[in-house]
Protein backbone atom coordinates (compact mmCIF):
# COMPACT_ATOMS: atom_id res chain seq x y z
CA UNK A 1 0.00 0.00 0.00
CA UNK A 2 1.38 3.42 -0.86
CA UNK A 3 2.26 5.49 2.17
CA UNK A 4 -0.70 7.54 3.38
CA UNK A 5 -2.17 7.29 -0.14
CA UNK A 6 -0.45 10.55 -1.11
CA UNK A 7 -0.85 11.22 -4.81
CA UNK A 8 2.50 10.57 -6.46
CA UNK A 9 3.45 13.38 -8.86
CA UNK A 10 4.00 12.30 -12.47
CA UNK A 11 7.60 13.56 -12.43
CA UNK A 12 8.35 11.22 -9.55
CA UNK A 13 6.70 8.29 -11.31
CA UNK A 14 8.81 9.07 -14.38
CA UNK A 15 12.00 8.97 -12.34
CA UNK A 16 11.20 5.59 -10.79
CA UNK A 17 12.48 3.38 -13.63
CA UNK A 18 15.82 5.17 -13.38
CA UNK A 19 15.97 4.61 -9.65
CA UNK A 20 15.08 0.99 -10.31
CA UNK A 21 17.82 0.56 -12.91
CA UNK A 22 20.33 1.95 -10.47
CA UNK A 23 19.19 -0.31 -7.61
CA UNK A 24 19.31 -3.29 -9.95
CA UNK A 25 22.91 -2.42 -10.81
CA UNK A 26 23.84 -1.85 -7.14
CA UNK A 27 22.37 -5.19 -6.15
CA UNK A 28 24.34 -6.85 -8.93
CA UNK A 29 27.47 -5.31 -7.44
CA UNK A 30 26.42 -6.62 -4.01
CA UNK A 31 26.14 -3.14 -2.55
CA UNK A 32 23.95 -3.37 0.57
CA UNK A 33 23.20 0.25 1.36
CA UNK A 34 23.34 3.60 -0.36
CA UNK A 35 23.02 7.13 0.96
CA UNK A 36 20.55 9.65 -0.39
CA UNK A 37 23.51 11.83 -1.35
CA UNK A 38 25.11 9.07 -3.49
CA UNK A 39 21.72 8.32 -5.04
CA UNK A 40 21.27 12.01 -5.74
CA UNK A 41 24.61 12.22 -7.52
CA UNK A 42 23.55 9.42 -9.81
CA UNK A 43 20.11 10.95 -10.42
CA UNK A 44 21.43 14.47 -10.90
CA UNK A 45 19.32 15.59 -7.93
CA UNK A 46 19.92 16.75 -4.37
CA UNK A 47 19.87 14.34 -1.43
CA UNK A 48 16.71 16.02 -0.16
CA UNK A 49 15.02 15.54 -3.53
CA UNK A 50 15.85 11.83 -3.39
CA UNK A 51 14.48 11.57 0.16
CA UNK A 52 11.31 13.34 -0.92
CA UNK A 53 10.91 11.10 -4.02
CA UNK A 54 11.36 7.91 -2.05
CA UNK A 55 9.20 9.06 0.86
CA UNK A 56 6.12 8.55 -1.34
CA UNK A 57 6.72 4.83 -1.22
CA UNK A 58 7.35 4.20 2.47
CA UNK A 59 10.02 4.60 5.12
CA UNK A 60 12.93 2.87 3.48
CA UNK A 61 15.75 5.10 4.60
CA UNK A 62 17.31 5.20 8.02
CA UNK A 63 18.97 8.32 9.35
CA UNK A 64 22.73 7.81 9.17
CA UNK A 65 22.40 4.42 7.47
CA UNK A 66 21.02 5.13 4.05
CA UNK A 67 18.77 2.97 1.95
CA UNK A 68 18.74 -0.80 2.03
CA UNK A 69 19.35 -1.66 -1.62
CA UNK A 70 17.71 -5.10 -1.61
CA UNK A 71 14.56 -3.93 0.22
CA UNK A 72 14.09 -0.80 -1.82
CA UNK A 73 14.67 -2.65 -5.09
CA UNK A 74 12.04 -5.22 -4.10
CA UNK A 75 9.61 -2.42 -3.27
CA UNK A 76 10.24 -0.74 -6.60
CA UNK A 77 9.63 -4.02 -8.38
CA UNK A 78 6.29 -4.14 -6.64
CA UNK A 79 5.43 -0.51 -7.43
CA UNK A 80 6.50 -0.82 -11.06
CA UNK A 81 4.69 -4.19 -11.33
CA UNK A 82 7.89 -5.83 -12.51
CA UNK A 83 6.97 -9.05 -10.73
CA UNK A 84 3.48 -9.00 -12.15
CA UNK A 85 2.87 -9.58 -15.81
CA UNK A 86 1.47 -6.75 -17.87
CA UNK A 87 -0.17 -7.73 -21.14
CA UNK A 88 -0.02 -5.65 -24.27
CA UNK A 89 -0.93 -5.66 -27.94
CA UNK A 90 0.68 -3.82 -30.82
CA UNK A 91 -1.47 -2.28 -33.52
CA UNK A 92 0.40 -1.83 -36.80
CA UNK A 93 2.77 -4.58 -37.89
CA UNK A 94 5.10 -2.33 -39.90
CA UNK A 95 8.66 -1.23 -39.13
CA UNK A 96 8.01 -0.10 -35.56
CA UNK A 97 5.55 -2.88 -34.70
CA UNK A 98 7.94 -5.57 -35.95
CA UNK A 99 10.97 -4.07 -34.24
CA UNK A 100 9.10 -3.92 -30.91
CA UNK A 101 7.91 -7.50 -31.34
CA UNK A 102 11.50 -8.65 -31.66
CA UNK A 103 12.66 -6.65 -28.65
CA UNK A 104 13.43 -9.21 -25.94
CA UNK A 105 13.66 -6.75 -23.03
CA UNK A 106 9.86 -6.39 -22.78
CA UNK A 107 9.49 -9.96 -21.60
CA UNK A 108 12.31 -9.64 -19.09
CA UNK A 109 10.59 -6.58 -17.60
CA UNK A 110 7.26 -8.44 -17.28
CA UNK A 111 5.52 -7.19 -20.44
CA UNK A 112 3.84 -9.99 -22.36
CA UNK A 113 2.95 -9.32 -25.97
CA UNK A 114 -0.36 -11.07 -26.66
CA UNK A 115 -0.96 -10.13 -30.27
CA UNK A 116 -0.22 -7.93 -33.24
CA UNK A 117 -2.93 -6.33 -35.36
CA UNK A 118 -2.84 -4.92 -38.85
CA UNK A 119 -5.24 -3.71 -41.50
CA UNK A 120 -3.45 -5.50 -44.36
CA UNK A 121 -5.23 -8.82 -44.98
CA UNK A 122 -2.02 -10.32 -46.41
CA UNK A 123 -0.30 -10.02 -43.02
CA UNK A 124 -3.02 -11.89 -41.10
CA UNK A 125 -1.83 -15.24 -39.85
CA UNK A 126 1.85 -14.33 -40.15
CA UNK A 127 3.91 -14.82 -37.00
CA UNK A 128 6.74 -12.57 -35.87
CA UNK A 129 8.90 -13.94 -33.10
CA UNK A 130 6.08 -16.41 -32.37
CA UNK A 131 3.42 -13.69 -32.12
CA UNK A 132 0.44 -13.94 -34.45
CA UNK A 133 -0.80 -11.01 -36.57
CA UNK A 134 -4.60 -10.67 -36.38
CA UNK A 135 -6.91 -8.63 -38.60
CA UNK A 136 -7.51 -5.24 -36.97
CA UNK A 137 -11.28 -5.89 -36.98
CA UNK A 138 -10.65 -8.36 -34.16
CA UNK A 139 -8.84 -5.82 -31.97
CA UNK A 140 -11.76 -4.70 -29.78
CA UNK A 141 -13.01 -8.18 -28.94
CA UNK A 142 -9.47 -9.43 -28.32
CA UNK A 143 -8.66 -6.61 -25.89
CA UNK A 144 -11.97 -7.07 -24.08
CA UNK A 145 -11.85 -10.88 -23.89
CA UNK A 146 -8.24 -11.08 -22.79
CA UNK A 147 -8.35 -8.02 -20.50
CA UNK A 148 -5.30 -6.52 -22.21
CA UNK A 149 -3.56 -3.83 -20.13
CA UNK A 150 -1.68 -1.73 -22.70
CA UNK A 151 -2.19 -0.96 -26.38
CA UNK A 152 0.79 0.13 -28.46
CA UNK A 153 -0.16 2.29 -31.44
CA UNK A 154 2.23 1.90 -34.37
CA UNK A 155 -0.06 2.82 -37.26
CA UNK A 156 0.11 5.88 -39.54
CA UNK A 157 -1.03 9.17 -38.00
CA UNK A 158 -4.38 9.16 -39.87
CA UNK A 159 -5.43 5.86 -38.30
CA UNK A 160 -4.15 6.50 -34.77
CA UNK A 161 -7.23 8.15 -33.24
CA UNK A 162 -9.57 5.47 -34.58
CA UNK A 163 -7.37 2.78 -33.07
CA UNK A 164 -7.16 4.68 -29.77
CA UNK A 165 -10.97 4.85 -29.67
CA UNK A 166 -11.32 1.10 -30.23
CA UNK A 167 -8.74 0.41 -27.53
CA UNK A 168 -10.40 2.71 -24.99
CA UNK A 169 -13.91 1.44 -25.77
CA UNK A 170 -12.64 -2.10 -25.19
CA UNK A 171 -11.31 -1.31 -21.75
CA UNK A 172 -7.61 -0.78 -22.39
CA UNK A 173 -5.85 0.65 -19.32
CA UNK A 174 -3.03 2.57 -21.00
CA UNK A 175 -1.74 3.56 -24.44
CA UNK A 176 1.83 3.70 -25.70
CA UNK A 177 1.69 5.89 -28.77
CA UNK A 178 4.27 6.05 -31.56
CA UNK A 179 2.09 7.91 -34.09
CA UNK A 180 3.09 11.57 -34.45
CA UNK A 181 -0.20 12.93 -33.18
CA UNK A 182 -1.70 13.98 -29.84
CA UNK A 183 -4.41 11.41 -29.29
CA UNK A 184 -7.90 12.48 -28.27
CA UNK A 185 -8.64 10.02 -25.51
CA UNK A 186 -10.38 10.22 -22.18
CA UNK A 187 -8.09 11.50 -19.43
CA UNK A 188 -8.78 8.36 -17.38
CA UNK A 189 -6.62 6.36 -19.82
CA UNK A 190 -2.97 7.40 -19.50
CA UNK A 191 -1.06 7.88 -22.73
CA UNK A 192 2.72 7.77 -23.10
CA UNK A 193 3.89 9.36 -26.34
CA UNK A 194 7.16 8.22 -27.86
CA UNK A 195 8.18 10.84 -30.35
CA UNK A 196 11.75 10.17 -31.44
CA UNK A 197 11.82 13.19 -33.72
CA UNK A 198 10.81 15.52 -30.84
CA UNK A 199 13.73 14.15 -28.84
CA UNK A 200 16.11 14.58 -31.79
CA UNK A 201 14.92 18.17 -32.25
CA UNK A 202 15.52 18.91 -28.55
CA UNK A 203 18.97 17.38 -28.83
CA UNK A 204 19.65 19.30 -32.00
CA UNK A 205 18.68 22.50 -30.15
CA UNK A 206 20.92 21.59 -27.21
CA UNK A 207 24.00 20.84 -29.30
CA UNK A 208 23.64 24.21 -30.97
CA UNK A 209 23.05 26.13 -27.77
CA UNK A 210 25.77 24.89 -25.48
CA UNK A 211 28.09 27.82 -24.82
CA UNK A 212 31.69 27.04 -25.84
CA UNK A 213 33.32 25.24 -22.92
CA UNK A 214 30.07 25.48 -20.95
CA UNK A 215 27.62 22.94 -19.67
CA UNK A 216 24.47 21.85 -21.44
CA UNK A 217 21.23 23.20 -19.91
CA UNK A 218 20.07 21.07 -16.96
CA UNK A 219 17.94 18.01 -17.63
CA UNK A 220 14.84 18.41 -15.47
CA UNK A 221 13.24 15.11 -16.39
P1 LIG B 1 4.82 1.31 -41.40
O2 LIG B 1 4.14 1.94 -42.58
O3 LIG B 1 6.01 0.46 -41.62
O4 LIG B 1 3.73 0.43 -40.60
C5 LIG B 1 2.44 0.85 -40.30
C6 LIG B 1 1.56 -0.38 -40.28
O7 LIG B 1 0.27 0.02 -39.83
C8 LIG B 1 1.40 -1.02 -41.65
O9 LIG B 1 1.68 -2.41 -41.59
C10 LIG B 1 -0.06 -0.76 -41.98
O11 LIG B 1 -0.66 -1.80 -42.75
C12 LIG B 1 -0.67 -0.67 -40.60
N13 LIG B 1 -1.94 0.04 -40.55
C14 LIG B 1 -2.35 1.12 -41.25
N15 LIG B 1 -3.59 1.49 -40.89
C16 LIG B 1 -3.98 0.62 -39.94
C17 LIG B 1 -5.15 0.46 -39.18
N18 LIG B 1 -6.20 1.28 -39.31
N19 LIG B 1 -5.23 -0.55 -38.31
C20 LIG B 1 -4.19 -1.42 -38.16
N21 LIG B 1 -3.05 -1.33 -38.86
C22 LIG B 1 -2.93 -0.32 -39.73
O23 LIG B 1 5.10 2.50 -40.40
P24 LIG B 1 6.21 2.55 -39.24
O25 LIG B 1 7.48 3.04 -39.77
O26 LIG B 1 6.17 1.29 -38.48
O27 LIG B 1 5.60 3.70 -38.34
C28 LIG B 1 4.41 3.48 -37.60
C29 LIG B 1 3.95 4.76 -36.93
O30 LIG B 1 4.98 5.20 -36.07
C31 LIG B 1 3.71 5.92 -37.91
O32 LIG B 1 2.67 6.71 -37.39
C33 LIG B 1 5.01 6.68 -37.90
O34 LIG B 1 4.83 8.04 -38.23
C35 LIG B 1 5.39 6.51 -36.46
N36 LIG B 1 6.80 6.62 -36.19
C37 LIG B 1 7.06 7.13 -35.01
C38 LIG B 1 8.33 7.25 -34.62
C39 LIG B 1 8.48 7.82 -33.28
O40 LIG B 1 9.51 8.22 -32.85
N41 LIG B 1 7.41 7.91 -32.55
C42 LIG B 1 9.48 6.87 -35.39
C43 LIG B 1 9.10 6.27 -36.63
C44 LIG B 1 7.78 6.16 -36.98
From the alpha carbon of 196, which atom of ligand 1 is closest? 40
3-state secondary structure of 213: coil
pLDDT (0 to 100) of residue 131: 95
Cα–Cα–Cα angle for 21, 24, 30, nearest 5°?
A: 145
Per-residue pLDDT tens digits for 28-83 = 899 999 999 998 998 888 999 998 888 887 766 666 678 889 988 888 888 887 77
Of the two residues 213 and 66, the one the predictor is more confident about is 66
From the alpha carbon of 97, which atom of ligand 1 is closest? 26
Model pTM score = 0.79
From the alpha carbon of 117, which atom of ligand 1 is closest? 20
Beta carbons of 2 and 10 less than 8 angstroms apart: no
pLDDT (0 to 100) of residue 14: 84
Alpha carbon distance 191, 205 (integer Å): 26
> Ligand 1, atom 1: nearest CA belongs to which residue?
94
Q: What's the gap in Å between 199 CA and the centre of ligand 1?
A: 19
Alpha carbon distance 148, 169 (integer Å): 12
Q: What's the gap in Å between 24 CA and the centre of ligand 1?
A: 34
Cβ–ligand 1 contact at 82 (below 6 Å): no
Per-residue pLDDT tens digits for 143-188 = 999 999 999 999 999 999 999 999 999 999 999 999 999 999 988 9
Core vs surface per residue 42-78: b (16+ CB within 10 A) or e: ebebeeebbbebbebbeebbeeeebbbbeebbebbbe
Cβ–ligand 1 contact at 133 (below 6 Å): no
Alpha carbon distance 2, 79 (integer Å): 9
Q: What's the gap in Å between 94 CA and the centre of ligand 1?
A: 6
Model confidence band, residue 16 (pLDDT cutoffs 50, 70, 90): confident
Of the two residues 215 and 92, the one the predictor is more confident about is 92
Beta carbons of 14 and 67 less than 8 angstroms apart: no
Q: What's the gap in Å between 92 CA and the centre of ligand 1?
A: 6
Q: What's the gap in Å between 160 CA and the centre of ligand 1?
A: 9
Cβ–ligand 1 contact at 147 (below 6 Å): no
From the alpha carbon of 197, which atom of ligand 1 is closest? 40
Beta carbons of 8 and 58 less than 8 angstroms apart: no
Amino acid sequence: MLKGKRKIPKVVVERLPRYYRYFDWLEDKQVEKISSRALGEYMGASASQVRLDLSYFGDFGQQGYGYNVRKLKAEMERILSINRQTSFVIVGAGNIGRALTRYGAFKRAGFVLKGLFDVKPLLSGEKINGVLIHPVEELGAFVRDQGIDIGVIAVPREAANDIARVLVDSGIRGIFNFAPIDLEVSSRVPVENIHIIDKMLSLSFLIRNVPPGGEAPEDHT
